[in-house]
């Protein structure tokens, strides 16, 4: 609990447990919701969620599909962590996007 002006305010740790999955659900499903409301949105590709991280065969297939996804993308959003620069496909993804969109 936190003290604010002498009053005890209980912090609800379960709020984070609810808010985090709800955030990702909204982020991932926003295009489906927009479509249901009659609005058209561009699809999103999350390499971490779209490329299998545990199965080597499916991971290779996912990495091979990056070129098509990136070539059809208008923009890229990168959440950079130290691990980002250690994975070959993330660097490939960024370099390919920058190469294909360098004129625009």
d(CA 56, CA 60): 6
For residue range 82-94, list pLDDT tens digits in order: 888 888 878 888 8
- CA nearest 46: which of 17, 66, 64, 60? 66
For residue range 53-73, list pLDDT tens digits in order: 788 998 888 888 888 888 888
Judged against a pLDDT cut of 80, whether residue 95 lies above it is answered with yes
pTM: 0.50
Say what the pLDDT of residue 42 is: 60
Say what the pLDDT of residue 46 is: 67
Q: Mean pLDDT over residues 77-104, rounded?
A: 82
More confident residue, 45 or 20: 20
Judged against a pLDDT cut of 80, whether residue 96 lies above it is answered with yes
Alpha-helical runs (H) found in the chain: 13-36, 47-50, 56-71, 88-100
For residue range 12-40, list pLDDT tens digits in order: 676 677 777 877 777 777 767 777 777 76
Buried b (16+ CB within 10 A) or exposed e, 44-56: eeebeeebeeeee
- CA nearest 49: which of 25, 68, 20, 15? 25
More confident residue, 101 or 45: 101
């Amino acid at each position: 609990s936190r003290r604010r002006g002498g009053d005890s305010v209980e912090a609800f740790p379960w709020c984070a447990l609810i808010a985090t999955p709800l955030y990702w659900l909204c982020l991932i499903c926003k295009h489906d919701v927009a479509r249901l409301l009659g609005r058209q949105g561009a699809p999103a590709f999350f390499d971490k969620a779209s490329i299998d991280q545990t199965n080597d065969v499916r991971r290779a297939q996912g990495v091979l599909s990056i070129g098509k996804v990136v070539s059809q993308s208008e923009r890229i959003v990168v959440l950079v962590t130290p691990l980002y620069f250690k994975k070959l496909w993330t660097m490939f993804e960024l370099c390919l996007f920058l190469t294909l969109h360098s004129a625009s």
